Amino acid sequence: MKAVWFEGFGAAQYVLILGDLPDPVPGPGEVLIRLRASGVNPSDVKLRAGARAGAVMGWPRIVPHSDGAGVIEAVGAGVDPARIGERVWIWNGGWQRQYGTAAELIALPTEQAVRLPDSTGFAEGACLGIPALTAWHAVFAGGPVADKTILVTGGAGTVGRYACQMARLGGARVITSVSSAVKAAHSTATEWVNYRDTEVAAAVMDMTGGKGVDRIVEVDFSAGQATALAVLKPGGVIATYASASDMQPRLEFYPLMFRNITLRMILIYLLDPETRRRGEAQLTDWLASGAISHAVVPGGTLADCAAAHEAVEAGAKLGTVVMEWGA
């Protein structure tokens, strides 16, 4: 099979190698998927660069990327052969594994291949494992959101855009903070604050009549902590999946405690099986009904993997960079 791999950390153009590897064979409880698309997430790029927390070369060669989509081509012992020919999307393809989705084929446990509705393309399917599931868990981990007010920071981002849509589908009022009107439109939110020219906390309190918000989906915990303290109702929730501006932020422990605030760290790779199944079922329903839209940024084919990584690193893209190939 054709695949892309790296044998050491470094810049994409220097360490990513396109070549041929032996076709994988599904073991017991596994499925073999002929991939059609591979999503390139910031965590994939950071791992290849050696910049992800705890990054080590656990194998002499690593095929990157956790997200992808394709068709089940074969199954291992103990897997229903009726799954052969099923369109699927993948989660954790490259999480603590040597062989991820930057390849024509991947073998992995059957539960990591989730049915992809016929109405959803492979490129869109390659956006689900990290961005969409992170958004779903960030919005709903604290329970139903009907009639609640949620602030989604960075609503034009890959996770934020999904979170805006999902919170609305759950019956919540959604406010997002973005850096421009163009990004506000991309976020799909109807209520927004431009954080470049407006003080977010004051604007949100004004928009809510001084009541504040019930939950925050936070793209940068360190940068957003002061705003959260100013706008969260007592008993509110901060669900955060990054803190890029300061990876070791100072925690305002007592101000958070005396407002009974829950701080929830989101690492979707470690989602427990029961919760993940609920998320998969909800995503399947939304996909089948066309309830959510996706922001796919074309990333070329496997041969363009280095450029796709560079596009993610540049930070200017609006959506998930996805490589596609095959019929």
pLDDT in tens, 40-53: 999 999 999 987 77
Quick: pLDDT tens for 101-157. 999 999 999 999 999 999 999 999 999 999 999 999 999 999 999 999 999 999 999
Percentage of the chain surpassing pLDDT 70?
100
Quick: pLDDT tens for 58-114. 899 999 999 999 999 999 999 999 999 999 999 999 999 999 999 999 999 999 999
Domains detected in the chain: 2-127+294-324 (3.90.180.10), 131-269 (3.90.180.10)
Tokens 């965590």, residue located: 43
What average pLDDT does the structure give for the chain? 96
* pLDDT given for residue 115 in this prediction: 98
* pLDDT given for residue 55 in this prediction: 75
* pLDDT given for residue 52 in this prediction: 76
Give me the phi and psi of 228, to 5 degrees please: -60, -45
- Measured from the Cβ of residue 295, the count of other Cβ atoms closer than 10 Å reads 20
Instruction: Compute the distance between CA of residue 319 and CA of residue 312 in angstroms, rounded to an integer.
Output: 10
* pLDDT given for residue 327 in this prediction: 66
Three-state secondary structure of 18-70? EEECCCCCCCCCEEEEEEEEEEECHHHHHHHHCCCCCCCCCCCCEECCCEEEE
Instruction: Compute the distance between CA of residue 138 and CA of residue 239 in angstroms, rounded to an integer.
Output: 5
